A and B are shown apart, each in its own frame.
Chain A
Amino acid sequence: MNKLKKKITLAKGKWEELQDNKDPVIYVGAASCGRAAGALELVDEIERYISENKVNARVIQVGCIGPCYLEPLVDIKMPGQPRISYSNVNTKVLGHILKSHLLEGQPFARASIGNFSRETFMDIPPLFEHPMLKPQVRIVLRNCGIIDPEEIDHYLATDGYQGFMNALKMTPEDVIGAVRQAGLRGRGGAGFPTFKKWTVCRNSPGEQKYLICNADEGDPGAFMNRSLIESDPHAVLEGMLIAGYAIGASKGIVYIRAEYPLAIERLKKAIAQMKEYGLLGNNILGSRFSFDIKIKEGAGAFVCGEETALIASIEGKRGMPRSRPPFPAISGLFGCPTIINNVETLGTLPNILRNGAEWYTRFGKEGNRGTKTFSLVGKIRRSGLIEVQLGTTLREIIFDIGGGVQKNFKAIQTGGPSGGCLSEEFLDLPVDYESLASAGSIMGSGGLIVMDEDTCVVDVAKYFLDFTQKESCGKCIPCRVGTKHMVEILERITHGEGNPEDLMTLRNLGDTIKKGALCGLGQTAPNPVLTTLRYFRNEYLEHIKDGRCRAVVCKDLIEYRVIKEKCTGCQSCVRVCPTGAISGPRSEPHNLDPTKCIKCRSCYEICRFDAIAGDAIVIRTAEKRS
């Protein structure tokens, strides 16, 4: 313990030096999303600039602070000034920013979105007053985008591992009691009270117990867990120590999907640092608690997020779920008592143990305590990773934080492929486990996909079902055969070949699969279809009766047209058309032969982006069937 205390004192000193910097510090948001937006090129460019201009500055790669739509983000902290954040930085703007701020000491206000202090600084408002950040309550994400995720010292200096040290001073039963009092429910989807399964596991006989961190995050459209691991890996690992101590496990495993290479790399580094600091191994910090953490990479199967399938996968088998009981808490990995917790559940624990259970209950509401992270994506103005108190309404999330929808709002899908698609009348629904369930959806892991009038809900329902059908492991018949059948019906409807009885068949099939499937994958797979049938029945009927797709998405129900009055005859579309469907001499309106058109979008894109051509090509829904 004393050795670590010394390290903490050193870490705090290092951190203060960074806040009281003598030389400029430049922070670049370089999580996966930042990198996809070009963050690493910016790092190279900054390093080159610094050495060329002989400036004594430090460059630090941080994780993701959340507003992905503003990426890449670069912050500059000059000595004696607050850290100032710049958004949508490209190499050209970067040149201006560096010249003005780094060389001349004058913040480049035009590209900045805020400063890290509480007050306005040289006309730049506080970052956390930004409309996307202000309504958020950042507990799990408190360090994300702020500290260097590869520096255990940064984590220690921001009170990291304090929660674990507090836990070590308590009995495991008291730790479980604190988690119970805090009201923490599992963030992996089902919202099962964490203390309950811990208690079962703690009381199960067995020398060897396991704690597994579920970082499989297979929901398409969700990236909260990836972002947390990439931006603050120690928070999750500290949570594993606390959970391991509480349930009496000596081995921890992080099961993480292979599609997340950067998160895996960060975890490996963080685990090595923990070993160096004496936070893993035998008799940690002089206590009787011994713990080790290993990483297991997933191999690309959504169903392996389900706990019994996950266990089968770690054991080297096909990742197929089995029926429960016995629950993993009694008989799990290699037959030993095993607890599986989600990344975010674990990332919440250090905060509860550091600040106390009572503190945690101040957030959220009765029965739904604390905060939840969401990835807010789709047709939303301000997309990104957010954290709000449970009980916040969908309206606050979409309009206050997300800044509203690009066109007219149509629907929001919560819970990914296992969740439901909710219409406008649900905008004032509080986001908590029970309210979402009563609307036919689920909380799920936290993907929120916003749709506007250009999104076809039938197409989206088909998309989700097609996903779960492909990911079905094939073990139980309702899921294997039932989902396939539902996809086929939806295919027909989107091709304009449906009939009115299809809607009844879909509902019956959906209800049967929900009741009969073996695991959560099948039991929730029909949700997107059932909810859209309930809330958007008219759109289904339009596809079936009128052969119309009002969102202009379903390919068989739309057509491409040249608007003669607008077409200048520039021939751009003639050149890109892969099937020779467009013809016509230069400077004269072109012809589009619908029998040759494969609706590939090439002409539409080129027409919209070509200043000469304007927008003479339109995609529209086909004429009403007679």
Chain B
Amino acid sequence: MSEKMRSIFEKYERSPDQLIPILQEVQREYGYVSPESVKMISRYLRVTENQIYGVSSFYAQFRFTPPGRHSIKVCLGTACHVRGGATLLEMLERELDIKCGQTTADRRFDLDRVACLGCCALSPVVQIDKEISSRMTVTKLSELLKKYE
């Protein structure tokens, strides 16, 4: 077992209620939940792989493929919706030539939607990596993408 996984397990009790926190930490470390890590978690917690997939696929947070270099999250909260969040998402799908939830072929961007970032007064907002940009327009967003390689 990898050193990294071992050190993750050391922090959590061997108890089924620790499954989600372990999955979260695995995703923080590796960027996604791989089949190998599921096997290891299964052995550690003594729950079946099926159960782990059952739980992890229920929650929007977990991904099962490696992430791209940058993550774009378009907020589609209510305030962002009434101020045009969906138009931003459509524009990104077109410019990046992927659908929401996918990664570009050159692994430059992941494109996702998020239910609400809680910055409703500054809507519409788009989050790229850790940075939240407010009062976005199609034109501003198109410019902003150029900053990321």
Residues of A at under 8 Å CB distance from B?
32-33, 35-37, 68-69, 71, 217-223, 226-227, 258-260, 296-297, 299-302, 313-320, 334, 375, 377-379, 383-384, 413, 416-417, 447, 449, 451, 455, 460, 463-464, 467, 471, 473, 576, 578, 598, 600-602, 605-606, 609
Contact B60 A300 (CB under 8 A): yes
Contact A259 B118 (CB under 8 A): yes
Contact A300 B118 (CB under 8 A): no
Contact A463 B81 (CB under 8 A): yes
Report which of A219, A296, A316 forms a contact with B55, defined as CB distance below 8 A.
A316
Q: A71-B122, A602-B139 are in contact. Are A455 and B58 (CB under 8 A)?
A: no
User: With an 8 A cutoff between CB atoms, is B84 at the interface?
Assistant: yes
A444 to chain B, nearest CB (A): 12
Chain B residues contacting A35 (CB-CB under 8 Å) are 132
Extra contacts, 15 of them, besides A377-B121, A378-B79 (Cβ < 8 A), are A32-B119, A36-B133, A68-B120, A220-B78, A222-B116, A223-B116, A226-B118, A259-B118, A299-B24, A300-B61, A375-B120, A460-B78, A602-B91, A602-B139, A609-B139
Bound-complex Cα distance A68 to B121 (A)? 6
Bound-complex Cα distance A378 to B85 (A)? 12
User: With an 8 A cutoff between CB atoms, is B111 at the interface?
Assistant: no
Chain B residues contacting A383 (CB-CB under 8 Å) are 79, 120-121
Contact B138 A451 (CB under 8 A): no
Considering the complex, which residues of chain B in the window 66-117 have a beta carbon less than 8 Å from any beta carbon of chain A? Answer: 76-79, 81-84, 87, 90-91, 94-95, 114-117
Q: List 17 A-B contacts (CB under 8 A).
A: A37-B122, A68-B120, A218-B115, A220-B79, A223-B118, A223-B120, A259-B114, A299-B59, A299-B61, A301-B58, A319-B58, A334-B17, A447-B78, A460-B81, A463-B78, A601-B87, A605-B137
Contact B78 A413 (CB under 8 A): yes
Residue of B nearest to A384 (CB): B121
Residue of B nearest to A380 (CB): B121
Contact A300 B59 (CB under 8 A): yes
Contact B77 A605 (CB under 8 A): no
Bound-complex Cα distance A460 to B83 (A)? 11
Contact B116 A314 (CB under 8 A): no
Bound-complex Cα distance A33 to B134 (A)? 9
Residue of A nearest to B123 (CB): A377
Chain B residues contacting A379 (CB-CB under 8 Å) are 82
Contact B120 A377 (CB under 8 A): yes
Contact A33 B121 (CB under 8 A): yes
Report which of B118, B134, B138 forms a contact with A37, defined as CB distance below 8 A.
B134
Contact B117 A297 (CB under 8 A): no
Report which of A219, A259, A317 forms a contact with B117, defined as CB distance below 8 A.
A259
Contact A220 B55 (CB under 8 A): no
B19 to chain A, nearest CB (A): 4
Report which of B19, B55, B120, B142 forms a contact with A221, defined as CB distance below 8 A.
B120
Bound-complex Cα distance A451 to B79 (A)? 10
User: With an 8 A cutoff between CB atoms, is B125 at the interface?
Assistant: yes
Residue of A nearest to B60 (CB): A300
Contact A467 B60 (CB under 8 A): no
Chain B residues contacting A221 (CB-CB under 8 Å) are 77-79, 116, 120
Residue of A nearest to B16 (CB): A316
Contact B82 A220 (CB under 8 A): no
User: With an 8 A cutoff between CB atoms, is B18 at the interface?
Assistant: yes
Residues of B at under 8 Å CB distance from A?
16-21, 23-24, 54-55, 58-62, 76-79, 81-84, 87, 90-91, 94-95, 114-123, 125, 132-134, 137-139, 142
Contact A316 B19 (CB under 8 A): yes
Residue of A nearest to B120 (CB): A377
In the complex, number of A-B residue pairs with CB atoms less than 8 Å apart: 152
Chain B residues contacting A32 (CB-CB under 8 Å) are 117-119, 132
Bound-complex Cα distance A313 to B125 (A)? 29
Q: Please provide the 6 A-B residue pairs with the shortest distance between their CB atoms, ordered closest to farther.
A: A68-B121, A221-B78, A300-B60, A299-B59, A223-B118, A220-B77
Chain A residues contacting B84 (CB-CB under 8 Å) are 601
Report which of A218, A297, A413, A576 forms a contact with B24, defined as CB distance below 8 A.
A297
Contact A33 B79 (CB under 8 A): no
Bound-complex Cα distance A600 to B89 (A)? 10
Bound-complex Cα distance A449 to B95 (A)? 31
Q: A221-B78, A296-B21, A299-B60 are in contact. Are A600 and B122 (CB under 8 A)?
A: no
A215 to chain B, nearest CB (A): 12
**Residue from B90, B95, B114, B122 whose CB has the most chain A CB atoms within 10 Å:** B122
Residue of A nearest to B62 (CB): A299
Bound-complex Cα distance A617 to B28 (A)? 46
A321 to chain B, nearest CB (A): 13
B16 to chain A, nearest CB (A): 5
Bound-complex Cα distance A451 to B78 (A)? 11
B49 to chain A, nearest CB (A): 15
Report which of A37, A299, A449 forms a contact with B82, defined as CB distance below 8 A.
A449
Contact B20 A299 (CB under 8 A): yes
Residue of A nearest to B131 (CB): A36
Residue of A nearest to B91 (CB): A600
Chain A residues contacting B79 (CB-CB under 8 Å) are 220-221, 377-378, 383, 449
Residue of B nearest to A258 (CB): B61
Chain A residues contacting B119 (CB-CB under 8 Å) are 32-33, 36, 68, 223
Report which of B54, B59, B60, B138 forms a contact with A601, defined as CB distance below 8 A.
B138
Chain A residues contacting B83 (CB-CB under 8 Å) are 378
**Residue from B81, B90, B133, B137 whose CB has the most chain A CB atoms within 10 Å:** B81
Bound-complex Cα distance A315 to B16 (A)? 7
Residue of A nearest to B114 (CB): A259
Chain A residues contacting B61 (CB-CB under 8 Å) are 258, 299-300
Report which of B81, B132, B134, B139 forms a contact with A605, defined as CB distance below 8 A.
B139
A461 to chain B, nearest CB (A): 12
A19 to chain B, nearest CB (A): 29
Bound-complex Cα distance A578 to B91 (A)? 10
Residue of A nearest to B45 (CB): A316
Contact A318 B78 (CB under 8 A): no
Residue of B nearest to A473 (CB): B58
Contact A301 B60 (CB under 8 A): yes
Residue of B nearest to A315 (CB): B17
Q: A37-B122, A416-B78 are in contact. Are A318 and B55 (CB under 8 A)?
A: yes
Residue of B nearest to A69 (CB): B121
Q: A258-B24, A259-B114, A316-B17 are in contact. Are A301 and B59 (CB under 8 A)?
A: yes
Residue of A nearest to B133 (CB): A36
Residue of B nearest to A447 (CB): B78
Chain A residues contacting B121 (CB-CB under 8 Å) are 33, 68-69, 71, 375, 377, 383-384
Contact B82 A576 (CB under 8 A): no
Bound-complex Cα distance A315 to B79 (A)? 33
Chain B residues contacting A377 (CB-CB under 8 Å) are 78-79, 120-121, 123
Residue of A nearest to B18 (CB): A316
Bound-complex Cα distance A299 to B25 (A)? 11
